[in-house]
Chains A and B, each alone.
Chain A
Amino acid sequence: MSRSRWEKNIFELIRRASTDLPMDVQAAIRRALTKEKKGSSAWWALETMLKNADQARKTDAPICQDTGALLFYCGVPVEFDTNALVAETRAAVSKATRLGYLRQNTIDSVSGASYATNVAPASPVFHFQQGARKTVDVRLVMKGGGCENMGCQYSLPNEDLGADRDLEGVRRCVLDAVWQAQGNGCSPGVLGICIGGDRATGYAHSKEQFLRKLSERSPVKILAKLEHRIVQDAAKLGIGPMGLGGRTSLLGVKIDALSRLPASFFVSISYMCWAFRRRGALLGPEGGVNRWLY
């Protein structure tokens, strides 16, 4: 591996993710803005979000000070040296922290000490998938702590919510989660949802949904329908941007399902804030950028 080129381009990926809000997310916020009354608190909040995105890009500054957990999803060719890619990525994360594209955002959970570079156990997070491919597909999702705290997991059936082990039960859990979150996850957010799996794979899979663009509906028809319905139902709650009240509570919902055990039926929900930082790159065998994604 030619060290400098991989590190340089992954650093560039982090820089773009931190400072440049994806177009699909900006477009969704713009659509939400048109639904609010001009001059209302909700309108002001959405307008500030768009202004912030614009200014972050222009001034090359982090969109949000909580630069989040760094979730790297890497699709690599068979026999690719993933350890080398991890080392390059860690070096890029250190550099991005030094230059202020990332906050010193990683804490030792026992001592409370702050890591200087964001390189620590479980930071950054890596997911690898090998496949019959020539390029290396690296995608980064930056997920802040405020929205991460709003994630939750339900085990169905749930008596209080009247939720059975079916899609109606899923809808009931999800809307309860949206209500619980109020504005705390920086609404209007995007939900990644996994039906099934065990507790760990369910949460992991719910986060993987954030790799999908907002315009990308589930290929499973009934899930696509449910995604749409939950966005509309959430709007009816009137929570609105930042919980100030308003017409948009979610920018999108992404649902997928995994298999489950007969005894378990988990619904795992990850909440992504409006400052939905997601970027990707297709890298050639020498680490050069073939194409930027999103």
Chain B
Amino acid sequence: MRRNLEYPFTMTKVRKLKAGQTVSLAGRIFTGRDRLHKLLSDGGKSPVDLANGALYHSGPVVIRRDGAWLVRAAGPTTSMRQERYMASVIEQHHVRVIIGKGGMGEGTRLACAKFGCVYLQVVGGAGVVLADTVKQVAGVHFLREFGEAEAMWELVVKGLKAVVTIDAHGRSLHKKVKISSRRALTRVLR
């Protein structure tokens, strides 16, 4: 059963989600990756209010066509690189949803449980399927400073499908797979 998750992503909505569930997300989301996370974690000001918002670990391909932005490909980037910054970004900016790929570590899992946030995994490399869910580019920040891939794109999406892999109750599918695959590794190396 796929659940609908709509902006604003309030604490109540987020707490209801459980690891393993699939969701269809709609509303406003912001892309952000390496440089943005470093800036926010260092105490830098976000140009937008991220409270009850979603951060998408992605650097899309965006072109200008007929005076408007057009997203050509918008898959996720590896989230684990933000592990060092994520917990403090969740705490300071009250982000409720993180979207990315590959999962995140213990710091993020604990921050999700403590402050009320979920991690959603989308399919890495699926640039076109994800670009298709973008209905509007509502704005862009740090384009000149960070470049196309690192900029903070403000996207309005509809029907963005994802799996909840870290919920707000301390459960992480990534942790589960990591542990079980470690056990299996020991077996195949025996």
Contacts and interface: CB of A to CB of B under 8 A. Distances in A.
Contacts of A107: 147
A146 B59 CA distance: 12
Interface string B177-190: 11011101101110
What DSSP secondary structure best describes chain A's contact surface? loop
B161 to A, nearest CB: 8
Nearest to A273: B125
Interface in B90-124: 101-103, 121, 123-124
Of B123, B150, B177, the most chain A CB neighbours within 10 A belong to B123
Nearest to B80: A184
Interface residues of B, number: 50
Contacts of A64: 73, 75, 124-127
State the majority secondary structure of interface residues on B. mixed
A185 to B, nearest CB: 8
A245 B172 CA distance: 12
A242 B60 contact: no
Interface string A231-248: 001001111111111000
Interface residues of A, number: 55
A183 interface: yes
B77 A240 contact: no
Contacts of B60: 65, 103
B72 A61 contact: yes
Contacts of A179: 181-182, 185
Contacts of B176: 245
A51 interface: yes
A199 interface: no
A238 B148 contact: no
A19 B105 CA distance: 33
B73 A48 contact: no
B73 A65 contact: yes
A49 interface: yes
Contacts of B189: 161-162, 172, 175
Contact of B78 (A63, A184, A239): A184
Given A62-B73, A104-B148, A236-B188, A52 B129 contact: yes
Contacts of A175: 185, 188-189
A41 interface: yes
B123 A104 contact: no
A49 B129 CA distance: 9
5 contacts: A44-B123, A64-B127, A113-B147, A184-B102, A274-B125
Given A175-B189, A275-B125, 11 more contacts: A44-B123, A52-B125, A55-B128, A59-B128, A64-B73, A104-B148, A112-B35, A176-B185, A184-B101, A238-B184, A239-B181
Interface of A: 41, 44-45, 48-49, 51-52, 55-56, 59, 61-67, 99-100, 102-105, 107, 112-114, 144-146, 149, 161-162, 172, 175-176, 179, 182-184, 186, 233, 236-245, 273-275
